[in-house]
Amino acid sequence: MKELNLTLKIWRQDGPDSNGSFDTIAAPGINDEMSFLEMLDLVNERLINEGKDAVVFDHDCREGICGTCSLMINGQAHGPQKGTATCQLHMRKFSDGDEIVIEPWRAAAFPIIKDLMVDRAAFDRIVESGGYITAETGGAPDANIIPIPKPVADAAMDAAACIGCGACVAACPNSAANLFTSAKVAHLNLLPQGQAERHARVEAMVDTMEEFFGSCTNHGECQEACPKEISIDFIALMNRDYLAAKFKNRRTLSRK
């Protein structure tokens, strides 16, 4: 166990329409076994003790699965450790004397609510437009009626692992949401159950995505920042399906 003395530069902003600025906060005596968010908890506890407002940041499960946490840490979405969400990042990745710059996700489609908390509702709009298989409760056939080859199920699971945190958008120089959208499209479009709506789904989701987000220019930053290491191959798959959807005669969907 080591003790770290850090200087934090944290973005503070009262609301979506106010001007924000960096607040420099000294964080001495940080135990390196702490998680990054536990370090922020401690900083907040100290701020409250001084009668100041705590720093607002989104977080919940602290197990890297709910996708609520965010933060640009020294300019990197979710910080320096690959494949790791902020809540799973530990202070042993930092050194004594470090200055750490902490900012919210930066993207026009994610307006700031307060301090480090942003509004990611645009992601929900994309899913609402088609990110599902229509299967109303009650009418499902036996689960083993359609065998799904293991490589297909595995690939769908690789895509479905997306936690919807928004790091891909924050890392993208264009604030594109192609990795997020393609992960949901691929998860459902790879599965046999998803074939009936395959073309309608990709069209609706891509079109909705484009209402909010920038365009993909294949930088690949999203894949590097993704805490679940989702591959940009899924973007290629989405693009292919999108193009195919434009030509597909839906009445012949049942034919190979």
Binding residues among 61-80 for other proteins as defined by CB under 8 A: 61-68
Positions in 91-150 near other proteins (CB under 8 A): 92, 113-114, 117, 119-121, 123-124, 127-129, 131-144, 147-150
Q: Which is nearer to other proteins, 31 or 74 (CB)?
A: 31
Mutual angle of helices 198-212 and 178-190, in 10-degree steps: 170
Do residues 223 and 182 make contact, with C-beta atoms less than 8 angstroms apart? no
Positions in 146-175 near other proteins (CB under 8 A): 147-150, 153, 156-157, 160-161, 163-164
**DSSP H or E run through 206:** helix 198-212
Q: Which is nearer to other proteins, 121 or 215 (CB)?
A: 121
Largest CA distance in the chain: 69
240 lies in the site for other proteins, by CB under 8 A: no
> Judged by CB under 8 A, how many residues of this single chain contact other proteins?
80
DSSP 4: E
- Residue 25 φ/ψ, nearest 5 degrees: -125, 125
Triad 36, 113, 166: Cα angle to 5°? 60
3-state secondary structure at position 30: strand
25 lies in the site for other proteins, by CB under 8 A: no
Q: Which is nearer to other proteins, 44 or 239 (CB)?
A: 44
Q: Which is nearer to other proteins, 35 or 223 (CB)?
A: 35
Taking the complex as a whole, the smallest distance from the CB of residue 78 to other proteins amounts, in Å, to 12
Torsion angle in degrees (nearest 10) through CA of 91, 170, 164, 89:
-10
3 lies in the site for other proteins, by CB under 8 A: no
Taking the complex as a whole, the smallest distance from the CB of residue 238 to other proteins amounts, in Å, to 16
Amino acid (one-letter) located at 124: D
Q: Which is nearer to other proteins, 42 or 101 (CB)?
A: 42
Amino acid (one-letter) located at 65: I
d(CA 86, CA 30): 17
* Cα atoms found within 13 Å of the Cα of residue 143, Cβ hemisphere only: 0
List the x/- string, 179-218, binding to other proteins by CB under 8 A: --------xx--x-xx------------------------
Positions in 40-59 near other proteins (CB under 8 A): 41-42, 44-45, 47-49, 51-54, 56, 58-59
Q: Which is nearer to other proteins, 1 or 251 (CB)?
A: 1
